[in-house]
Amino acid sequence: MSTIVSLNKALTEFYDKMASWESSVVRESEYSLAQIHTLEVLGNYGAMNMKSLANQLGITTGTLTVQVEKLVKLDLVKRQHSEDDRRSITVALTEAGQAIHEHHNALHLSLTEDLSKDLSENERHTLMALLNKVNQEF
């Protein structure tokens, strides 16, 4: 079997297992996958307007409006009208939202530690570097 086919299998398998892990982690929390994902994007990339956030999440702004409304009621995000464009609304994490993001991020880090526990420091670094090359090509 060619390297490319094996690599494809490995990448796909990783993606599937990661999705499964994420799903089970979220199921144990009191928030939905969509909600955690929203907090995750805001935490990782910082506050942004509705359009950018919807784009990053891969959903329409219509769907996002409803989602953000719920998160505002839960006091996890806040909305701020932009000063230079009054149509635009910036969505940002509240302190409570930030805390949840940090907790979720700690779970991710802990998973990464587990996954790479049999790798040498050199191997971890190589994997990271190769993945970064791959990520740039998307």
Q: Of 13, 16, 69, 123, which lies in the binding site for DNA, with binding defined by CB under 7 A?
A: 69
Which does residue 89 bind out of a second copy, DNA, none, counting CB within 5 to 8 angstroms by kind? DNA
Q: Of 6, 12, 65, 112, which lies in the binding site for DNA, with binding defined by CB under 7 A?
A: 65
CA distance 98 to 53: 16
Stretch that binds DNA, among 7-15, 57-65, 101-109, 110-118 (CB under 7 A): 57-65
C-beta of 25 vs 57, nearer to DNA: 57
In the complex, minimum distance from the CB of residue 60 to a second copy, in angstroms, rounded to a whole number = 11
CA distance 32 to 16: 19
| Residue 41 found at the interface with DNA (CB under 7 A) | no
Which does residue 67 bind out of a second copy, DNA, none, counting CB within 5 to 8 angstroms by kind? DNA
Residues 80-109 that bind DNA (CB under 7 A): 82, 85-90
Contact 58, 67 (CB under 8 A): no
In the complex, minimum distance from the CB of residue 49 to a second copy, in angstroms, rounded to a whole number = 19
CA distance 41 to 101: 9
Stretch that binds DNA, among 2-10, 12-20, 63-71, 99-107 (CB under 7 A): 63-71
- The residues pairing with 79 across neighbouring beta strands, listed in sequence order, are 91
CA distance 52 to 50: 6
Q: DSSP alpha helices (H): ranges in 1-138?
A: 3-28, 33-45, 50-57, 61-73, 95-115, 121-136
